[in-house]
Amino acid sequence: MERDFTEPAGCRSDLVIGREEPFGAAREQLARGGSVLLHGPAGIGKSAVLRTLAAEYGRSARTVLRCSATESESHLPFLALADLLGPVLDEVSGALPAAQRTALESALTGRGESTLQRDGLALRLAVLSALRALAAEGPVLIVADDLQWLDPASTELLGFAARRLGDTPVRLLCAVRTDGQEYDRHLRASPPDTLAVRLEPLTRAQVSALLDQRGYSGLPRSTVRDIHRTSGGNPLFALELGRALAESPTPPRPGEPLPVPTSLRALVLSRLDMLSDEARRTLLVASAGARPTPALLHAAGRADAEAETAQAAALGLLATDPEGPTVRFAHPLISAALYAEAPAPDRRAAHAALSTAASDPIERARHLALATTGTDPEVAARLAEAAALARDRGAPSVAASLGLLAARHTPPDGEPGPDERRLQAAEDAITAGEVDLARDVAREVLTRATAPGERVRAWMVVIEAAGQAIGDVDVVFPQALADAGDDPRLLALVHYQLAWRGLVVQGDFAQGREEAAHAARLAARAGDRSTELLALAFQAQAETLMGHPDAPTTIERARQEPQDPRVACHHNGAGSTRFRWLVMSDRLTEARTTATGLLREVRRRGMAESELHYLRFLSETELHAGHCGRSLELARESLTLARDAGIGEAAGAMQAALAEAAGGDVERALTLAREAVRRAEEDGDAVYLSRALAVLGHAHLVVGDAPAAVDALRRVRELEAGAGITDPARGRWQGDLAEALVRTGQPAEAQEVIEVTRAHALRLGRGSVLAVLDRAEARLRAARGEHRSAVARLVSARDRLGELGFGLEEARAAFALAELRADGPGQASYDEAARLFRRCRALPWLRQVEAAVAARAAAAEPAPARPAAAPDCLAGLAAMERQVASLVMEGATNREIAARLFVSVKTVEATLTRVYRKLGIRSRVDIVRLAAGRKA
């Protein structure tokens, strides 16, 4: 008797947002035949998970019983039991003893006066017997939502049966509302092996995804951040807030809490009417404050703050804070709802009180602004000063908010004017990573600004906000140049962005370099040192990647005094350029020190995008050094922050893919690499596209798909040749391409790649690149049968990579050496490679070593006699082709051949196709016939 659990459209896509881990745990438990208790606070998504699990597992059960209680019905005895067993009463009544049947029918139908006190034993046994009778015909699934509202009688009967079901195929899938971890008492109504699964709040990125999925995708990221903070990660609260904002004709003023819809106010403020008027006023002041304490409330005129907050805590509106005296609301939404509920004059009065009570000048200025209506030059000046202080403290997001408040209170004829303050706020928002807010502010200014300086600054914000998708704002550049006129300071700003356009959109490093040099000259003429330093750093980076001889000189010019401290640590500044040069010059220790110092400084300044870059830089350095675990941690942190902020996601996915391929999950590496390629293509970003393709090719090589690696890396070669990039240390993909070409039987092209790359590496002194090329050439020589020279070259490459500190590449060389040393004992020859990969925590590579050892051991087992030498007809084949053909003659399958030669099955298939063509045959059978003819 199956019940219909059809889900509404979109339910499952809602569920998987942030619920993958608990959902997976519940699924595994149910699949094992166990029971599940979902718990968490109201609105956390328990019912959604419950419905989806019920829909999935209800199909495998013969009988599905369900109930969903409500608070208003919890006093009605046996109501939940009637929901569960009422529909199957006729089916089970015949299997019950008379006394049990009478008691159960009386309880379910209400025709008698059954009670637990009078018919307790008979009722308990009746429920147990009914469930066993149903289970005798097939599996039973009991689905019960909102256990906290089940009537006590039903709870007692269900618990009695659940504890005695034993191996009977009855599973319980239940959900209960809990404010903390107190779910133990509800487990008593479940089988002994029930798994309790707590649903936790969503992260900011998950809230953003949920809002997008529900159609609230137009909200600025700063608003999404506020929604996440106000909702506490509760999906129901977040969706209601998103809906309210989407429907609101006017967004909240800067610095104000979000508007809270009536539905949520009723939910969280049901106990507010029990407060005294004075206590309510005290809580309003607390909700308006950033970090309210009893002392602050006293200073704001709330003389009885302690007693009034104690009253609120007793009602569950406030929570005690064990770490300090802060007055903390039980949920952020209570504070927002309380503020939204208050009349506007009361809110202004609370802010006015706090504008003198707060000790922090930033807080005082914010409260003064929110207590003031209309324009006020003095208030605007104080807000601008507070914004500058927040900027110096490394809180650019706060500075942006204060700057917008300052603009709001600045008179139209003020000096500086309101739009100038808005632009400064937009630039602070860029620094904080709030690019959508910055773009919106800049476009608003452009609708009315006439001054060239303001217009060009606004255009620069629009371009910066586009990020790597700079091609999307191509139309901006002619307008910005027209607005700049012949002002060298403004022209320098535009030409600096044109340098990025040439690099990102057109993939032309030479053009980017020329534009940057022109921008640096213009900025120097105008005395704009900040723009000059940025342009010089760009020029130096382009020259470094191009292998230009002037690169070291330009780097030093970019590092000369006087310096702008913010530019010096910016991810496009001289410090970043020097880091890149150090890595490419094999100076890993200095590079790590440089990146660590830069990361510390940008974190101090709150420079969000720069922080993402330096996390990736450190991840890259640790990966080269062979610290794969640390590299993976840094890459994952950077990717999480990038997705949270919505900036640099392609670059984050790219570095995470590299780290996963070295020390994590190779399938995830492929997924991330494909994401990086897709994002770069969507953005029209030629720079990151070539790098992302290099990572994709590397990931394919790690998983053993050499043909796919060749396809990706050939595209990299074409892109970099078109861009004028000649330094092989930029992407370090050339060795992978040569190795993949060898594995796919294309030695001539592999040799060409090695020779061309070696010439550039020798010219630039790239020692690690030369060693990797030697490793690839060793494989090429081995494929040609030059075993001794291949081994010698690998030994040299391994030792040089170790001396340079490239631990992962050293381990790869040791692995290649073990594969070539066929005359050594199977296990012992791989010991060094295993040791080095283990030291690096390079788990995917370590698994390859283990597979190779197993294959070697299998190959050492007694096998049928095989020909002493390959037939003469194989003499015209390449080395790889001869090896494959010989193994086919022995009767090996394609998979066995791939394992023994350490190549992919696709490579074996491609090699056999060439063998058939060269030998003039059609199948494996013909190769076997050749072998048989030779034996005869």
pLDDT digits (tens, 9 = 90+) for 792-823: 999 999 999 999 999 999 999 999 998 887 54
Q: Calculate the average pLDDT of the chain.
A: 85
Flag the least confident range among 48-62, 259-273, 601-615, 719-733. 259-273
Helix locations, 626-705, DSSP H: 628-645, 649-663, 666-683, 686-703
Residue 718 has pLDDT above 80, yes or no: yes
pLDDT of residue 323: 54
> What is the rounded average pLDDT of the residues 547-558?
89
For the chain, the farthest-separated pair of C-alpha atoms sits apart, in whole angstroms, at: 110
pLDDT of residue 824: 44
pLDDT of residue 902: 57
pLDDT of residue 649: 86
Residue 345 has pLDDT above 90, yes or no: yes
Tokens representing 3 are 């019940």
Choice between 72 and 805, residue whose per-residue pLDDT is larger? 805
pLDDT of residue 863: 45
pLDDT of residue 879: 65
> What's the rounded Cα separation, in Å, for the pair 524 and 532?
6
> Which residues, at least 6 apart from 331, have a Cβ–Cβ distance to it below 8 Å?
232, 234, 268
pLDDT of residue 481: 95
pLDDT of residue 750: 95
pLDDT of residue 903: 62
Query: Which range has the top average pLDDT, 48-62, 168-182, 755-769?
Result: 755-769
pLDDT of residue 328: 86
> What is the rounded average pLDDT of the residues 858-863?
56
> What's the rounded Cα separation, in Å, for the pair 223 and 202?
16
Residue 245 has pLDDT above 80, yes or no: yes
442 C-beta neighbours (distance < 10 Å), count:
28
pLDDT of residue 869: 44
pLDDT of residue 921: 78
> What is the rounded average pLDDT of the residues 882-887?
80
Matching residue, tokens 């060094």: 832
> What is the rounded average pLDDT of the residues 9-30?
69
First to last CA, the chain: 71
Q: pLDDT confidence of 2, banded at 50, 70, 90?
A: very low
Q: pLDDT confidence of 540, banded at 50, 70, 90?
A: very high
Q: pLDDT confidence of 925, banded at 50, 70, 90?
A: low
> What is the rounded average pLDDT of the residues 10-21?
59
State pLDDT tens for residues 408-424: 999 999 899 999 999 99
114 C-beta neighbours (distance < 10 Å), count:
23
Comparing C-alpha atoms, which of 156, 100, 153, 159 is closest to residue 130? Answer: 100
> Which residues, at least 6 apart from 345, have a Cβ–Cβ distance to it below 8 Å?
none
> What's the rounded Cα separation, in Å, for the pair 754 and 770?
9
Matching residue, tokens 């770069």: 680
Q: What 8-state DSSP symbol labels residue 654?
A: H
Residue 432 has pLDDT above 80, yes or no: yes
Indicate whether this model's pTM tops 0.85.
no
Residue 857 has pLDDT above 60, yes or no: yes
C-alpha torsion sign, points 866, 869, 872, 876: positive
pLDDT of residue 640: 86
Residue 43 has pLDDT above 90, yes or no: no
> What's the rounded Cα separation, in Å, for the pair 405 and 901?
68
> What's the rounded Cα separation, in Å, for the pair 315 and 678?
52
> What is the rounded average pLDDT of the residues 909-915?
78
pLDDT of residue 814: 94
Residue 1 has pLDDT above 60, yes or no: no
708 C-beta neighbours (distance < 10 Å), count:
19
Residue 709 has pLDDT above 90, yes or no: yes
> What's the rounded Cα separation, in Å, for the pair 354 and 297?
8
Cis geometry, peptide bond prior to residue 562 (ω within 30 degrees of 0): yes
Q: From the DSSP assignment, how many helices (H) and strands (E) are in the chain? A: 49, 7
Cis geometry, peptide bond prior to residue 361 (ω within 30 degrees of 0): no
Judge contact between 258 and 230, C-beta under 8 A: yes
State pLDDT tens for residues 454-507: 999 999 999 998 887 888 888 999 999 999 999 999 999 999 999 999 888 887
pLDDT exceeding 90 applies to what percent of the chain? 42
pLDDT of residue 417: 93
> What is the rounded average pLDDT of the residues 321-340?
78
Q: What 8-state DSSP symbol labels residue 272?
A: G
Which residue type, as a one-letter code, is found at position 181? Q
Residue 682 has pLDDT above 90, yes or no: no
> What is the rounded average pLDDT of the residues 89-94?
87
Give how far Cα 630 sits from Cα of 227, 620, 633, Å: 33, 10, 5
Tokens representing 263 are 């539905």
Matching residue, tokens 């599940």: 36
pLDDT of residue 887: 81
Choice between 593 and 48, residue whose per-residue pLDDT is larger? 593
522 C-beta neighbours (distance < 10 Å), count:
24
Judge contact between 383 and 365, C-beta under 8 A: yes
> What is the rounded average pLDDT of the residues 525-553?
91
pLDDT of residue 798: 95
Contacts for 760-763: CB closer than 8 Å, 24+ residues apart: 760/547, 760/726, 760/727, 760/728, 761/728, 761/729, 763/547
pLDDT of residue 13: 40
pLDDT of residue 729: 92
Extended strands (E) in 90-169: 140-145
The 3 state secondary structure assigned to 350-407 is: HHHHHHHHCCCHHHHHHHHHHHCCCCCHHHHHHHHHHHHHHHHCCCHHHHHHHHHHHH
